[in-house]
Amino acid sequence: MSNETLSNLLHEERRFPPSEEFAAHAVAKADLYEQAQADRLGFWDEQARALSWAQPWTQTLDWTNPPFAKWFVGGTLNVAYNCVDRHVEAGNGDRVAIHFEGEPGDTRTLTYAELQREVSKAANALTALGVQAGDRVAIYLPMIPEAIVSMLACARIGAPHSVVFGGFSSSALRSRIEDADARVVITADGGYRRGAPAALKPAVDEAVDGLDAVRSVLVVRRTGQDVAWTDRDVWWHEALEAADDVHEAQPFDAEHPLFILYTSGTTGKPKGILHTSGGYLTQAAYTHRNVFDLRPERDVYWCTADIGWVTGHSYIVYGPLANGATQVIYEGTPDTPHRGRFWEIVQKYGVTQLYTAPTAIRTFMKWGDDIPAEFDLSSLRVLGSVGEPINPEAWVWYRRVIGGDRTPVVDTWWQTETGAMMISPLPGVTAAKPGSAQVALPGIGIDVLDDEGHPVPNGSGGYLVLTEPWPSMLRGIWGDDERYKETYWSRFKGMYFAGDGAKKDEDGDIWLLGRVDDVMNVSGHRLSTTEIESALVSHPKVAEAAVVGATDETTGQAVCAFVILRGDAGYDESQADAVIKELRDHVAHEIGPIAKPRQVMVVAELPKTRSGKIMRRLLRDVAENRQVGDVTTLADSTVMDLIKQGLSTGK
Ligand code: WTA
């Protein structure tokens, strides 16, 4: 973000206080902040008591071996029991848990009682396949109810799941299966994407080829397309038909691993972020209830994320279901079969809370106000945003056009690593400021530090840190304690470094400014520059590659790649388009379509410092069509002229 945009942002004068009516009935009251301030751990104890524990904890937080935290020490619970069975036992078995809307328009409704039977059958089926507590299960599914059932079935038997986004390639899937040493993979023949079936099973076949540790592949039939079949494949519907629909859930330790979720870091190798049970569920449920002002008996909540991302874990599966919410899940894209699909869904189900990403909001803005105007959106009460900074204009549009100038908008900052929301206004309490995530949630400690680790004064920027351990914090990186310490806890002593830049405005409110490391944020998805560079260099024609995230109006950032081709690639300019296409497709194949560069530029040189480090800042200037900045530290200061000349003449 340029300094100019930044100072514009910080002069944002518009304020949106909650209406009196909303404030009077709000779930979250202002005294939450005082309670948490007065007794932070006591505050978290109280939040944890909203869950059902088999055995109470004896200690709220054990922080004697930082940065390895233990929350609710000695407590035991079953996460799936908390998300499903207890609602049935409380007499809410007939409440809808899931309204499923398939992309082709097929629908399915699951009540809590039905969900209980499905999850029980799936838990029995997994047990029959030999899955035991502690074994890892990989899940590679479209957004269908079976995705949620699978995750809960794993949680129920204490088998940590590793959900891999269905848009990732077979090699990305394979490396995640290998890293977690998964025993079973749950997938589908395919899912519907932009009006057509998109296959998933072939990617799994490729990914598990030769991996003997994978004992079974459970396959959900979704599209009915042909699939290749091997001895270890089992149809989901057959396995579940054979399974009993009653399953006794055993309690597990509060620190029992619940899931691993891979996320891009600054190196080529994705990090397996580890989350455990009691603290994670406590914070997911607490934030979901308070930030969305949830009234489970009458609300219809909808989060548009995919379960392949952490937002889907915490705010589709665990938070909402722990709270007994009724929710919508949607399989497809916002423009299939038409650009009003989201609004049609809101109208059809009477959605009360909508949680989506700034990229989607900016796209809807571009498509125009007329489209949402065709639908009745008056059921909406709270709008949420997550995944990237939301610019004030998009925020105001979201509130005005989607929220009828009436609904609070909550901009929620958090990460895969934090497990649940950390910074967000509270609807009914906070006077909202468009573009700012504003304040730490009650119970959370944050600050913005300068290079030396001192808190910056209001009006200044620096690095966002979390100053206190929190219940849903990651417990580490799967199999790599050193990397955990090094990545998050070494930059500032005793504090968690989030990797984001932030600024405090004159009121002390927080403005998120994007990543300060080599992680890009494209449409709210984290991508590592290094990972894409390695994918490019793995292509036989590429000698060297540098990747930058350039500002993009819609997707926030876009992947721009600069490549030097190998001398023996026999490249001449007439092939430029073909080579560029080949390289873009190669990245999509290696990592997934989300990582496909918007632009690939073939260059003769890359700008490097004398120590050989690529100066991405200068490449970003080129990618964003800006005057190239200070080149004095380059080993060869003429390189940038060469690159610009080459690009303008198409060389
Ligand atoms: C960015 C997604 C600004 C941030 C939940 C963070 C945001 C990364 C916001 C985590 C927000 C997320 N405002 N930036 N409200 N929410 N981010 O792990 O850079 O996929 O570090 O988790 O997204 O991405 P992740």
- Report the nearest-CA residue for atom 5 of ligand 1: 415
Q: Which parts are annotated binding residues for ATP?
A: 387-389, 411-416, 500, 515, 526
Q: 3-state DSSP: the chain helix, strand, coil percent, rounded to 5? A: 35, 25, 40
**43 Cα to the center of ligand 1, angstroms:** 25
Average pLDDT over residues 287-292: 98
Least confident of 3-17, 272-286, 325-339, 528-542: 3-17
**412 Cα to the center of ligand 1, angstroms:** 8
Q: Which parts are annotated binding residues for Mg(2+)?
A: 537, 539, 542
Q: For residues 299 and 327, is the Cβ–Cβ distance under 8 A? A: no
Q: Which residue has the higher pLDDT, 5 or 66?
A: 66
* Per-residue pLDDT at 8: 60
pTM: 0.92
Strand partners of residue 446: 466
Average pLDDT over residues 552-567: 92
Place of tokens 């899912």: 191
DSSP structure string for 16-72: BPPPHHHHHH-SS-THHHHHHHH-HHHHHHHHHTTS--SB--SEEEEEEETTEEEEE
CA distances from 558 to 452, 613, 646 (A): 31, 22, 22
* Per-residue pLDDT at 649: 58
- Report the nearest-CA residue for atom 8 of ligand 1: 415
Q: Name the band, by pLDDT with cuts 50, 70 and 90, for residue 3.
A: very low
Q: Looking at the predicted structure, is the pLDDT value of residue 651 above 60?
A: no
**33 Cα to the center of ligand 1, angstroms:** 23
Q: Which residue has the higher pLDDT, 207 or 609?
A: 207
* Per-residue pLDDT at 627: 83
Q: Of all atoms in ligand 1, which is nearest to the CA of residue 411?
A: 15
* Per-residue pLDDT at 216: 98
Q: Which parts are annotated binding residues?
A: 193-196, 311, 387-389, 411-416, 500, 515, 523, 526, 537, 539, 542
Q: Looking at the predicted structure, is the pLDDT value of residue 10 above 80?
A: no
* Per-residue pLDDT at 23: 96
- β-strand 461-466 against 326-330: which pairing, if any? unpaired
* Per-residue pLDDT at 612: 73
Residues having CB closer than 6 A to ligand 1 are: 263, 309-311, 386-389, 411-416, 437, 498-500, 512, 514-515, 521, 526
* Per-residue pLDDT at 113: 98
**85 Cα to the center of ligand 1, angstroms:** 32
Q: Which residue has the higher pLDDT, 531 or 489?
A: 489
Q: For residues 347 and 296, is the Cβ–Cβ distance under 8 A? A: no
Among 303, 388, 472, which is best to mutate for testing ligand 1, by the most ligand atoms less than 8 A from CB? 388
**262 Cα to the center of ligand 1, angstroms:** 15
Task: Count how many residues are written for the chain.
Answer: 651
Q: Of all atoms in ligand 1, which is nearest to the CA of residue 413?
A: 15
Q: Of all atoms in ligand 1, which is nearest to the CA of residue 385?
A: 15
Q: Name the band, by pLDDT with cuts 50, 70 and 90, for residue 241.
A: very high
**104 Cα to the center of ligand 1, angstroms:** 31
Q: For residues 563 and 545, is the Cβ–Cβ distance under 8 A? A: yes
* Per-residue pLDDT at 517: 84
Structure tokens at 56: 């109470």
Q: Looking at the predicted structure, is the pLDDT value of residue 60 above 60?
A: yes
DSSP state of 480: -
User: pLDDT tens digits for 20-35?
Assistant: 999 999 999 999 999 9
DSSP structure string for 280-346: HHHHHHHHHHHHTT--TTT-EEEE---TTSHHHIIIIIIHHHHTT-EEEEE-S-TTSS-TTHHHHHH
- Report the nearest-CA residue for atom 15 of ligand 1: 413
* Per-residue pLDDT at 650: 52
Place of tokens 């909540």: 301
**302 Cα to the center of ligand 1, angstroms:** 19
Q: Name the band, by pLDDT with cuts 50, 70 and 90, for residue 643.
A: confident
* Per-residue pLDDT at 294: 98
- Percent of the chain having pLDDT more than 90? 83
* Per-residue pLDDT at 543: 87
How far apart CA 171 and CA 258 sit, in angstroms, is 24
Least confident of 8-22, 291-305, 539-553: 8-22
* Per-residue pLDDT at 108: 98
In degrees rounded to 5, what are phi and psi of residue 551?
Answer: -55, 135
- Report the nearest-CA residue for atom 12 of ligand 1: 387
Among 280, 304, 383, 386, which is best to mutate for testing ligand 1, by the most ligand atoms less than 8 A from CB? 386
**521 Cα to the center of ligand 1, angstroms:** 8
As a whole number, the mean pLDDT across the chain is: 94
Q: Of all atoms in ligand 1, which is nearest to the CA of residue 424?
A: 15
DSSP state of 355: E
DSSP structure string for 511-558: EEEEESSSEEEETTEEEEHHHHHHHHHTSTTEEEEEEEEEEETTTEEE
* Per-residue pLDDT at 648: 66
Q: Looking at the predicted structure, is the pLDDT value of residue 495 above 80?
A: yes
User: pLDDT tens digits for 602-611?
Assistant: 998 888 877 7
Q: Looking at the predicted structure, is the pLDDT value of residue 500 above 80?
A: yes
Confirm whether the ipTM is greater than 0.90: yes
Among 356, 415, 472, 520, which is best to mutate for testing ligand 1, by the most ligand atoms less than 8 A from CB? 415
User: pLDDT tens digits for 297-317?
Assistant: 999 999 999 999 999 999 999
DSSP E strand boundaries for 167-255 = 184-188, 190-193, 196-199, 216-220, 233-235, 252-253
Q: Of all atoms in ligand 1, which is nearest to the CA of residue 499?
A: 21
Q: Looking at the predicted structure, is the pLDDT value of residue 446 above 60?
A: yes
Strand partners of residue 297: none
Structure tokens at 239: 């396995």
* Per-residue pLDDT at 1: 44
- Report the nearest-CA residue for atom 10 of ligand 1: 415
How far apart CA 151 and CA 154 sit, in angstroms, is 5
**125 Cα to the center of ligand 1, angstroms:** 36
**424 Cα to the center of ligand 1, angstroms:** 12
Q: Of all atoms in ligand 1, which is nearest to the CA of residue 309?
A: 20
Average pLDDT over residues 602-622: 84
- Report the nearest-CA residue for atom 6 of ligand 1: 415
